[in-house]
Amino acid sequence: MSLLSDLVNLNLSDSTEKIIAEYIWIGGSGMDIRSKARTLSGPVSDPAKLPKWNYDGSSTGQAPGEDSEVILYPQAIFKDPFRRGNNILVICDTYTPAGVPIPTNKRCAAAKIFSHPDVVAEIPWYGLEQEYTLLQKDVKWPLGWPLGGYPGPQGPYYCGIGVDKAFGRDIVDAHYKACLYAGINISGINGEVMPGQWEFQVGPSVGISSGDELWAARYILERITEVAGVVLSFDPKPIQGDWNGAGAHTNYSTKSMRNEGGYEIIKKAIEKLGLRHKEHIAAYGEGNERRLTGRHETADINTFKWGVANRGASIRVGRDTEKEGKGYFEDRRPASNMDPYVVTSMIAETTILWKP
């Protein structure tokens, strides 16, 4: 195994200027991350200078067999924490050979919203809180849980330490450092309320980059769990019963909200979000009805309400924002399996562009 490890960790720059680029895209389910690698003649830092590529869309549920070619357009570059050196990870979106975005390409529509002059002027900031659950490989039961049984009730696990409270910390810390190495704006991690469940945060990031960074962080996390022999789940309610679900709380502010008098802008934005509650819920992740029950720090899926420091609300405003009269708010409705391109752009569209 030491020889294999030595070869995996070879420093290519000792012998060649060539680099490896791992092209990453989202498959047909909207949550399955796919990737493949190619050799480039030398280091690249601008996505526009990377070649387009293609793949067999009939094998990812994104094209018919008789016309299976899907084209990858490189959109964002990150350093590769697995191969290191000058090697890169490339976030791509997906198009037909004629240049039309395929239905599962949610980035293209989001980029149009984020490039609108009114949105650009507001410099929208996002902080995305990605919750996830680590599962034992062969039984798909949370890490640290007794096989066929349950651990003690919730309480000691949130931000807990100790062998009987924190399960999978090596994976979590490896992911944290790998994201920092890659250039992802990861801002923190913590153990969650349900044992075997964790969270990382990405941001503050501006506009479309928040989606690129979260997808890159998800890719790195699943690669690490692959090595660790653990299954990664983004299911919003992986265990039924008196256990917390998994969300992707989305923190948001605009330039107007961050400036003096911003609290009034925040309240107007929240009012608009309430008017489009059903449309947002429909776009906020599959299976979210199992999570948004009005229990376990959620608001009921059919109810829209907001409050200061209220974790049982749809929208939470922080005490500091209320006190300072400016700042940000948190949309607590998105599920852990949400598409960040969809959620971030929809919040911007509703709060900046939409006229009730």
Q: Which helix (H) or strand (E) holds 310?
A: none
Does 348 have pLDDT greater than 70?
yes
Q: pLDDT for 194-213, tens place per residue?
A: 999 999 999 999 999 999 99
pLDDT of residue 148: 87
Q: pLDDT for 42-58, tens place per residue?
A: 999 999 999 999 999 99
Taking the model in full, what pTM does it have?
0.97
pLDDT of residue 86: 96
Which SS3 state, helix, strand or coil, does residue 93 take? strand
pLDDT average, residue stretch 311-326: 94
Does 190 have pLDDT greater than 90?
yes
When pLDDT is cut at 50, 70 and 90, the band that residue 311 belongs to is confident
Does 1 have pLDDT greater than 90?
no
Does 312 have pLDDT greater than 90?
no
User: What are the C-alpha distances in Å from 276 to residues 61, 132, 177, 302, 346?
Assistant: 31, 27, 38, 12, 10
Q: Which helix (H) or strand (E) holds 191?
A: strand 186-191
pLDDT of residue 309: 84
Which SS3 state, helix, strand or coil, does residue 188 take? strand
Q: Is the dihedral of CA 78, 102, 110, 309 positive or negative?
A: negative
Q: pLDDT for 26-36, tens place per residue?
A: 999 999 999 99
Write the DSSP assignment of 255-297 as a string of letters.
HHHHSTTHHHHHHHHHHHHHHTHHHHHHHS-TTGGGT-BS-SS
Amino acid symbol at 220: I
Does 77 have pLDDT greater than 60?
yes
Average pLDDT of the chain to the nearest whole number: 96
Does 154 have pLDDT greater than 90?
yes
pLDDT of residue 310: 83
pLDDT of residue 296: 83
Angle between helices 209-228 and 169-182 (to 10 degrees): 140
pLDDT of residue 128: 98
Residue with the bigger pLDDT between 190 and 296: it is: 190
Q: pLDDT for 5-18, tens place per residue?
A: 889 889 898 899 99
When pLDDT is cut at 50, 70 and 90, the band that residue 297 belongs to is confident
Does 220 have pLDDT greater than 60?
yes
**CA dist., res. 175 & res. 33, Å (int):** 16
